[in-house]
Amino acid sequence: MDRPSQHRAARFTATPGSRRWLRSNTAKRIMDPLHFAIAFAPLGAYLIRLGVVHLRPHPTVVGGHRDLAAAALAISGLIVVGPMELFMPETAATRFGWLVWGLLLSFYGMCIVLALLMARPRLVVYNVGVVELRQALSEVVKRLDPAPQWAGDSVLLPSLEINFHLDDYRATRCAAVVALGDAQNWHAWQHLHDELAAELNRGKGLPHLLGVSLCLSGLALLALSVYWLAANPQLTAQRLADFLRL
């Protein structure tokens, strides 16, 4: 047997001890406290934010661009330890070191800005059903436009030059007012946001139990991240040096 064949045979012949070491080393690479914290700490903070919103005694109106930006920040850690690190340009990492992360994060930020610029106007209303939202919108559109035109869950306000429809997300007790078409009056949408928020604040709702589970999930992710980092300072320092290419 030639030498390359011997090397291949030795590589594929593993003792029980070497197999245990391989499984342990693989587990350490997968269950890395630094990567876990980077991936799930932003998501945990986002879940806590959503939980607090659902626990409020009245619905909360959030602009669609703000909601999209918050969701993008929530998954930013997963993007960093996933696609960014997987497709890291090694040539650039060797040349620029830790600065390459600044370039990648800047690119991700520009992608978010592009998505925000291309997104249609939208209002997301948390802790409300579509029936309650429709009733509140009926009162709002009467004040904003003398001749609103309803067609099912779609509304046209000719004098304001906006039209939209209602989306219902029953599983999360959330509804949205989504623009129909690109020809929209952005100032009118801001006015609609303010009037709808004021109308919903006049009424009283009930805190949703989903908020409790969201807050607990977010707190669990943050607590586990902090505990794991504090329990493994040497491993965290080593992984951080590898992560930053130091």
Residue pLDDT, tens place only, 134-146: 888 888 888 888 8
Region 35-62: mean pLDDT is 92
Q: Are residues 187 and 213 in the same domain?
A: no
Nearest to 76 by CA among 134, 37, 21: 37
Which of 145-159, 208-222, 223-237 is predicted with the least confidence, judged by mean pLDDT?
145-159
Q: Are residues 100 and 221 in the same domain?
A: yes
- pTM comes to 0.80
CATH of the domain at 175: 3.30.310
pLDDT mean across residues, the chain = 83
Q: Are residues 103 and 134 in the same domain?
A: no
Q: Are residues 181 and 133 in the same domain?
A: yes
Q: Are residues 98 and 198 in the same domain?
A: no
Residue 17 lies in a domain: no
Question: Given this model, what pLDDT does residue 16 score?
Answer: 47
Residue 93 lies in a domain: yes
Question: Given this model, what pLDDT does residue 20 score?
Answer: 44
Which of 16-30, 38-52, 191-205 is predicted with the least confidence, judged by mean pLDDT?
16-30
The tens digit of pLDDT for each residue in 63-109 reads 999 999 999 999 999 999 988 888 888 887 788 888 889 889 999 99
Identity of the highest mean pLDDT range in 21-30, 48-57, 169-178: 48-57
Residue 4 lies in a domain: no
Residue 27 lies in a domain: no
Residue 103 lies in a domain: yes
Q: Where are the alpha helices (DSSP H) in the chain?
A: 3-12, 16-30, 33-54, 64-74, 76-79, 85-86, 90-96, 99-118, 130-144, 186-202, 210-231, 233-243
Distance from C-alpha of 222 to C-alpha of 135, rounded to nearest angstrom: 39
Q: Are residues 196 and 230 in the same domain?
A: no
Residue 23 lies in a domain: no
Distance from C-alpha of 63 to C-alpha of 121, rounded to nearest angstrom: 8
Q: Are residues 115 and 134 in the same domain?
A: no
Q: Are residues 109 and 41 in the same domain?
A: yes
Question: Given this model, what pLDDT does residue 205 score?
Answer: 66
Indicate if the pLDDT at residue 17 is higher than 50: no
The total number of structural domains that make up the chain: 2
The position carrying tokens 């992984």 is 239
Q: What is the largest CA-CA distance in the chain?
A: 91
| SS3 at position 12 | helix
Range of the structural domain that residue 190 is part of: 122-205
Q: Are residues 57 and 163 in the same domain?
A: no
Q: Residue 14 has which token pair?
A: 């593993």
Residue 16 lies in a domain: no
Q: Are residues 217 and 193 in the same domain?
A: no
Q: Are residues 201 and 150 in the same domain?
A: yes
Residue 50 lies in a domain: yes
Q: Are residues 140 and 150 in the same domain?
A: yes
Question: Given this model, what pLDDT does residue 5 score?
Answer: 44
